[in-house]
Amino acid sequence: AAILLKLGGYGLIRISSMLNPHPPNLMFPIMILALWGILMTSSICLRQTDLKALIAYSSVSHMGLVTAAIIVQTPWGLTGAMTLMIAHGLTSSALFALANTNYERTHTRTLLLVRGLQLIFPLMSTWWLLTNLTNMALPPTINLLGELFIISTLFNWSPPTIIITGIGTLITATYSLYMFLMTQRGSISTQFRVLPPTHTREHLTLTLHLLPLGLLIMKPSLISGLFA
């Protein structure tokens, strides 16, 4: 999620620049698939019961935005694609790490079975909240910066795309909140009353994911100025 998926995005940037200007018969089908993929994968997240599957489909949805921005081949589009790829690489990896900490203790990834973990792991619940807020591109995260660049690029390319990207953004916020509430809130099952405590290495791993995201807020030009 953090490296190989972004390596594919980098490959798209390199190959797409060789095909500039794009022939219309090549660009439109890929653009339609990318925009449709944003809506479909986001909608699939709303009815997921497997935690890791939800995070994986979330990654596909975000990369649909990246693919659409790369195809347009404008400086803003490439800047937004690079920004979102770096931001989402850290965010998605942190979500998978959090899902793994849950699985190591409960031995299940089913959302309906494991609820109310905030009562047992309050500090881990804080990590869940911060990561989910970053995943839904809450201001002033660089995820929002990347999405704004991409949405502006697609709107300039074709104004009706604002409907698809807007709906996709709303669904992203919905399933991010759904994921947090299903894992952290509610009453916990009696079989999970006694669970092993969290370890320092797990909190260090999450710190190393979210600290760069926080620092990049202070100077986003480090990653957003690559194609400007």
Output the pLDDT for position 25.
67
- Distance in Å from the first CA to the final CA of the chain: 26
Question: Three-state SS string across the chain, please?
Answer: CCCHHHHHHHHHHHHHHHCCCCCHHHHHHHHHHHHHHHHHHHHHHCCCCEHHHHHHHHHHHHHHHHHHHHHHCCHHHHHHHHHHHHHHHHHHHHHHHHHHHHHHHHCCCECCCCCCHHHCCHHHHHHHHHHHHHHCCCCCCHHHHHHHHHHHHHHHHCCCHHHHHHHHHHHHHHHHHHHHHHHHCCCCCHHHCCCCCCCHHHHHHHHHHHHHHHHHHHCCHHHHCCCC
pTM: 0.90
Residue 23 is predicted with a pLDDT of: 65
Residue reference for tokens 């997240």: 45
pLDDT for the residue numbered 204: 95
**Confidence at residue 228, expressed as pLDDT on a 0 to 100 scale:** 43
What's the pLDDT at 188? 79
Which residues in the chain show pLDDT less than 70? 20-25, 225-228
CA angle at residue 72 from 33 to 86, to 5 degrees? 85
